[in-house]
Amino acid sequence: MYSHTRKVGSLGRYGPRLGRKVREEIKKVEDDALKNRACPTCGSARVKRQFAGSWKCATCSAVFTAGAFTPKTRKSTASADESAKEK
Ligand SMILES: [Zn+2]
């Protein structure tokens, strides 16, 4: 089915506004936010963003805090990188 937002996805709501660089940044953040992440309680990948910093698992209804736009925080990502380096 043809959609007028086929190329730009969630950026379609901006219409002709904003430049390429800004759009790329927004798309990166939004795609990340919509990706399914594993729930820290049950491990299911059905975690949805409620609002900035609050995430809810659709399987076990666990609510937890994390990053505003992704269920990972920059700190947790950094420490994961560090532990990967140590190995
Ligand atoms: Zn869960």
Residues of the chain with CATH 2.20.25.30: 36-87
CA of 28 to the centre of ligand 1 (A): 25
Pick from 68, 38, 54, 30: which is nearest to 46 by CA? 38
CA of 12 to the centre of ligand 1 (A): 31
CA of 59 to the centre of ligand 1 (A): 5
pLDDT-based confidence at residue 82 (cuts at 50, 70, 90): low
pLDDT-based confidence at residue 30 (cuts at 50, 70, 90): confident
**Whole-angstrom Cα distance, residue 70 to residue 63?**
14
What class does CATH assign to 36-87?
A: mainly beta
pTM above 0.85, yes or no: no
Tens of pLDDT along 31-46? 777 776 788 888 888 8
